[in-house]
Structure 1
Amino acid sequence: MHKAYKIPTLLGLIVLVGGLIGGIVMINSRQQLIPKAAASPTPQGVALSNVTDTSFTVSWTTTISATGFIKLMSQGKSDRIILDGRDNNNGSQNKRIVHYVLVDSLTAAQTYKFVIGVDNGQFDQNGSPFSVKTAQALSSAPQSDIASGVILSGNGQAAEGVIVYVQLPSGQLASALSGSNGGWAVPLSTIRAENGDSWLNYDLSATVYAIKVDGGPDGIADAILTTAIDKPVPPLKLGNSYDFRQSREPISDATGKQTTASGSSTSDKSGAKSLFDFSSLGPVTPLNEGLTLDNPKKEGEIIYTDKPEFFGSGPAGSSVEIKIESVNPISGE
């Protein structure tokens, strides 16, 4: 007895062909719809400050909120990850625009190398890790002398979590982070001379120095003042420049510019930028620690096509070996 076969109707053929085409489209689309990881924001205005015999501070800003950390590279030991002090206090990493990391528990007169971490990316200095040498241990610091003040946002509210840099002539850069009420304090008496081998000598009432406030996208402020009026420094508002050499009471003129009581415009006379010998640790460049594979997204992923596409990145000149596990394994370089 012969088995009967039915010839598919036209409608059946259309359904079969449509299903085949749809399956191909879905398979191919699967390769195209795999998202690539977003690039981490690049650190801006990276600065090294508060260098002592056992610690140093690294600070920077980002254009968007991101997590931040420092990876300290130790010879013969595991790399050490140091979080922003505010993250250490609450036990989790938070995204923020202003980043401030204290690296401590170090050895005197030793050179340390580090990279900056932002979200999932890491950054070095034009292909090499950042480098800093801790200072020699010194005897007890001179008499305590602390500069302090308050930082205000552009709308006059307390500016929390912005960086206040203090630069005395011939001294190393010092810094502090403003608190919840916008307040800040920097011990001037523990600032070292440029070479780090001695405490800085300065006049407690007549030294002219500069302050720079960095709030990232929220704005900056700078001021030039003397040690005679820094307890406290008059409030500094982001977006303004100040000159307190003649008076500690700035006023606003008809144009809205901040001026001293003598009437001279701070933007014309302060000279804060030339006095403030501030330079960032740039150039800051993305760190390529190795090869990354963006598509397929994960190891062992099943690929539903006989012509898979691979996307990724890595250092120039690197060799990549790809192996596809199947009935007949395929590998190539």
Structure 2
Amino acid sequence: MRNSFWNKRIPTLLGIILIAIGLGVTTYLVKQGGLFSIRAGPTHEPKDVRISNITDTSFTVSYSTEDAVSGALNYGEDSSFGQSALDDRDQSLGKISPYNLHNITVRNLDPGKIYYFSIISSQDTYLNNSNPFEVTTGASIEDIPLEQNPMSGKLILPNGKAPGEAIIYVTTQGSQVISAMTKEDGTYLLPLNSLRTSDLTSYFKLNEGKILKILAIGENLTSNVILFSDQIDPVPAVTLSNNYDFTVNTLPKASDSARLEGFPSFSS
């Protein structure tokens, strides 16, 4: 792994300034209507839009595009939006880059509020059937987060290489959906101590023998995985395009037709 979890790159002062300018310009154009178009180009159109990692102060929006393009969100407490958020990697590196898989986290929100957002894909605006997307933040939880091991593992391509971009989604019966992007070497780490219940009102306890479901997406390939809670650290290696039921064995399932429930996306 090139950079550990605690060894992230710190954006340069110039990068921070450029991001601030970019966010300001985007917000201004939104208010003036300058970023809206009638229809997004078919290769820029966001697909499989999913909301995950909802807390009392943040949420994550992820989606894919056929072409590698820049991505951002315009969001706010009403349909006029007024604020913008860049892809997590753009925020971290201090520059805007094109991607096929997009992962955008909106932070510094208020608990228990409805937020509306649109997706800016390249220079086009994407809505949910002509209406803004919406998400409600969770309530504040006074309890201390639970002591639970994180989920860790690695994704590889059929040729044995690490995917250039990949996202892991995780859920179990009664819990919310959480997600994370993989590192450059295909590894991932998902903290579970602050995993919430599906109604977001309390932390979710992973009891022994609990079955979890994983959806892995990368390089236009998908894998569905089922495993027990005691198999999460680490999860056996997953080859994208294969499905696995680790509650039975570590071999890929013979059929790839099964689709796991629990990872809904907005229709495109």
When normalised by structure 1's length, the TM-score is: 0.64
Alpha-carbon displacement from aligned partner over 1:254-285 (angstroms, at most 9, x marks no partner):
xxxx35xxxxx3648xx6x24x3111023x4x
Which residue number in structure 1 is paired with residue 263 of structure 2?
A: 278
Give the Cα separation in 1 of the matches to 2:77 and 2:219: 31
Q: 2:189 maps to what in 1?
A: 185
1:226 aligned residue: 228
Superposition deviation, residue 230 in structure 1: 1.1
Distance, in Å, in 2 between the alignment partners of 1:176 and 1:216 is 16
Following superposition, the deviation at residue 145 of structure 1 comes to: 2.2
Q: Secondary structure at the match of 1:88?
A: helix
**Partners of 2:163 and 2:219 within 8 A in 1:** no
How far, CA to CA, are the matches of 2:40 and 2:117 in structure 1? 23
| Identical residues among aligned pairs (%) | 27
Distance change >3 Å, CA 48–CA 76, structure 1 → 2: closer
Q: CA deviation at 1:91?
A: 2.1
Letter in 1 for 2:169: Y
For residues 78 and 211 of structure 2, the distance between their equivalents in structure 1, rounded to whole angstroms, comes to 42
- Provide the aligned C-alpha RMSD in A: 2.1
1:166 aligns with 2:151: no
Following superposition of structure 1 onto structure 2, how do residues 201-280 of structure 1 map, counting pairs within 5 Å?
201-203=205-207, 205-215=208-218, 217=220, 219-247=221-249, 249-250=250-251, 258-259=252-253, 265=254, 267=256, 273-274=259-260, 276-280=261-265
**CA separation of 1:190/1:160 partners in 2, compared to 1, >3 Å: closer, same or farther?**
farther
Rounded to whole Å, the distance in 2 between the matches of 1:214 and 1:173 is: 15
Moved more, 136-145 or 61-70: 136-145
Contact 1:147–1:186 (8 Å) recurs in 2: yes
The offset of 1:147, in angstroms, is 0.8
| 8 Å Cα contact 1:74-1:80 kept in structure 2 | no
Per-residue CA deviation, residues 282-303 of structure 1 (Å, 9 max, x unaligned), is 3x4xxxxxxxxxxxxxxxxxxx
Following superposition of structure 1 onto structure 2, how do residues 1-333 of structure 1 map, counting pairs within 5 Å? 39=41, 41-75=44-78, 79-138=82-141, 139-203=143-207, 205-215=208-218, 217=220, 219-247=221-249, 249-250=250-251, 258-259=252-253, 265=254, 267=256, 273-274=259-260, 276-282=261-267, 284=268
* Residue-by-residue CA offset, 1:21-57 (whole Å, 9 max, x unaligned): xxxxxxxxxxxxxxxx982611011000000001000
CA distance in 2, matches of 1:104, 1:87: 15
- The answer to whether the 8 A contact 1:243-1:266 is kept is no
Checking the alignment, whether the CA contact within 8 Å between 2:81 and 2:117 is kept in structure 1 is: no
TM-score (norm 2): 0.79
In the TM superposition, what is the alpha-carbon distance from 1:161 to its structure 2 partner? 2.7
Relative to structure 1, the CA distance from residue 38 to residue 230 in structure 2 (aligned partners, 3 Å threshold; closer, same or farther) is closer
Unpaired runs of 5+ in structure 1? 1-36, 251-257, 260-264, 285-333
Which amino acid in structure 2 is aligned with residue 112 of structure 1? Y
The alpha-carbon deviation at position 144 of structure 1 amounts to 2.7
The AA in structure 2 aligned to 1:210 is: K
How many residue pairs align between the two structures? 228
Does the residue aligned with 2:118 lie in a helix, a strand or coil?
strand
Q: In structure 2, what is the equivalent of residue 315 of structure 1? A: none
The Cα of 1:101 is off from its aligned counterpart by 0.4
**Compared CA separation, residues 77 and 212, structure 1 to 2 (3 A):** closer
8 Å contact kept, 2:79–2:116: no
* Structure 1 residues 189 and 90: CA distance shift in structure 2, 3 A: closer
| 1:52-111 deviation per Cα after TM superposition (whole angstroms, max 9, x unaligned) | 001000000011111101111345987111100111122221111000001101111111
Higher relative contact order (CA 8 A, sep 6+): 2
Superposed displacement of residue 140, structure 1: 1.2
Question: How big is each residue's C-alpha offset from its partner over 1:103-132, in whole Å with a ceiling of 9 and x where there is no partner?
Answer: 101111111100011001011111110111
- Is the Cα–Cα contact under 8 Å of residues 63 and 216 in structure 1 kept in the other structure? no
